[in-house]
Amino acid sequence: MKTVLRPLIATAALVTLAGVLTGCSLFGGLERDSSGQVTESSDIKSTELLTGDCFSYIGDGSDLSKVTIAPCAADHTYIVLAQGTLTVDAVNTAGGLQNAVSAACTESFTTFKEGLAEGLKTKQEFLVSNKTVDGAEVSAYSCVAIDPKSDPTAESTEAPADGEDG
């Protein structure tokens, strides 16, 4: 009888633990629905954003390291269009980080811009951080755009990031 109860108790404990963990963040992340969208607003590090996330900068926006992530149906200013990493060689080949990230984000930004309703404009921006992947230093980037669908009365202009032509 004891040998049957131990596995049952262990299984029940694991099932209970799994149930508790699915209702909250497993690794300090956010609760997301089945489509991957966050279910409630929360302040997070900008490096925790995922493609498709909607967010606003905290305060005056001078600190890009922290954002308020929100369900896309709620008020927000920006949307993450795509993400990726660039090696040091890729950055050097492109002539610098700005050029490399701009080239990497061109397709996702063009697609987003073309999907906007007539008269709505946007602006492309980037979030970049350095990290180590498989022992190599890379630049992790997020392609970001002002989301005029969140507030169509907001003034925004179509322009490449940081005043670069193109």
Residue 115 pLDDT: 94
Closest CA to 79 of 105, 51, 99, 98: 51
Higher pLDDT, 72 or 24: 72
Q: What is the pLDDT of residues 79-126, one digit of tens each?
A: 999 999 999 999 999 999 999 999 999 999 999 999 999 989 999 999
**Which residue ranges make up each domain of the chain?**
2-163
Residue 17 pLDDT: 35
Residue 149 pLDDT: 82
Residue 111 pLDDT: 97
Residue 93 pLDDT: 96
> Does residue 152 register a pLDDT over 50?
no
- The reply to whether the predicted model has a pTM over 0.95 is no
Closest CA to 128 of 65, 43, 38, 37: 65
Per-residue pLDDT band for 150 (boundaries 50, 70, 90) equals confident
Supply the mean pLDDT for the chain. 80
Residue 14 pLDDT: 36
Average pLDDT over residues 36-56: 95
